[in-house]
Amino acid sequence: MPFEQIIAIAAFFLVLVLVWGTLKKLFKLIFYVGIIILLLMTGNAYFVYRDFMDLRENFGLSSKEVLLVDGSEVITGIILEGDDFEALSNQQLNEISSQLKNKDYEGILGDNYKLMILDVDIVEDLDNEVEVLGQAMPQQQIKKTFESGSSSEKATLFAALLSEEIIANKNPLFFFSQFKDGNIIIYPETALFKTVKLVPIGLFNNAASSLFEKTKEKARTFVVEENE
């Protein structure tokens, strides 16, 4: 066998050994990275599940501050706690507007369980005409009420939209899709809501159907009481 062929064969096997050693290290690295990713996903799934169960059990009963805003200006707001619903006063709304400019969500939250901030642009994603407060109301009328209505009218309409069109929308994913699009801010933003931002929204269809069931009934009670 010519000397050149011997050199070529030797070089081939040397390269093969080097490549195989590199591939073994690469496979080992991929394996360990896969294990780490799996552990992280399992841990995140646990926290998401725990967060979901906490929300399901406590969201409808605990005190929540729900605001409708235009930029940093608070248009109206309500406090929901168990069977009790209270509209925030103009003085409270002005104070919250100042805090909102500084993104002082912790200060706005206070002792409440959750803070929910809804952008008024959410109205544009509703149907052109919605059934609210026992009547068909077009988007323009809703916007006009939020712009120039009395404090009581704004709070009542907001509570009705919240219960009948935003949380209890015909599309169970409406609330989560609005959150993902930035029209809703939740504070504190716990594991479930962080995950909503990262994965396809369709994965939360079943969760969305049941999560706020108690809150829907509470908000409807508020609407009835305000109209009596």
- Answer whether 82's CB lies under 8 Å from 133's CB: no
- Answer whether 64's CB lies under 8 Å from 113's CB: yes
Q: For residue 16, what are the domain limits?
A: 1-58
Query: Reduced to 3 states, what is the DSSP secondary structure of residue 177?
Result: helix
Residue 129 sits in the same domain as residue 159: yes
Residue 39 sits in the same domain as residue 150: no
Residue 181 sits in the same domain as residue 156: yes
Among 58, 89, 107, give the residue marking a domain's end: 58
| CA 120/CA 75 separation, integer angstroms | 8
Q: Which two tokens stand for residue 135?
A: 């009547």
pLDDT in tens, 6-43: 565 556 556 556 666 666 666 666 655 555 544 445 55
pLDDT for position 143: 92
| CA 69/CA 192 separation, integer angstroms | 24
Give me the sheet containing 114-119, strands edge to edge: 84-87, 73-81, 64-70, 114-119, 184-187
| CA 60/CA 25 separation, integer angstroms | 53
> Where is 67: in which H helix or E strand?
strand 64-70
Residue 85 sits in the same domain as residue 24: no
Residue 104 sits in the same domain as residue 158: yes
DSSP state, residue 89: P
Which is higher by pLDDT, 199 or 98?
Answer: 98
Using the predicted structure, report yes or no on whether residue 65 has a pLDDT greater than 70.
yes
Residue 76 sits in the same domain as residue 13: no
Residue 92 sits in the same domain as residue 192: yes
Residue 190 sits in the same domain as residue 86: yes
pTM of the complete model: 0.73
Number of domains in the chain: 2
**183, 186, 191, 197 alpha-carbon torsion, rounded to 10°:** 10
Q: Which two tokens stand for residue 67?
A: 């605001």
Report the alpha-carbon angle 124-100-200, nearest 5: 50
Using the predicted structure, report yes or no on whether residue 223 has a pLDDT greater than 70.
no
Query: Reduced to 3 states, what is the DSSP secondary structure of residue 68?
Result: strand
End-to-end CA distance of the chain: 105
- Strands 64-70, 114-119: pairing is parallel
Among 32, 58, 84, give the residue marking a domain's end: 58
Using the predicted structure, report yes or no on whether residue 56 has a pLDDT greater than 90.
no
DSSP 111-133: T-SEEEEEEGGGGGGS-SEEEET
Residue 70 sits in the same domain as residue 149: yes
Among 13, 43, 58, give the residue marking a domain's end: 58
Residue 4 sits in the same domain as residue 54: yes
Cβ-based burial of 13 (10 A; exposed 0-12, middle 13-18, buried ≥19): exposed
pLDDT in tens, 131-176: 877 788 899 999 999 999 999 899 989 988 887 788 766 777 888 8
pLDDT for position 204: 74
Residue 38 sits in the same domain as residue 130: no
Residue 131 sits in the same domain as residue 36: no
Query: Reduced to 3 states, what is the DSSP secondary structure of residue 34?
Result: helix
pLDDT for position 39: 44
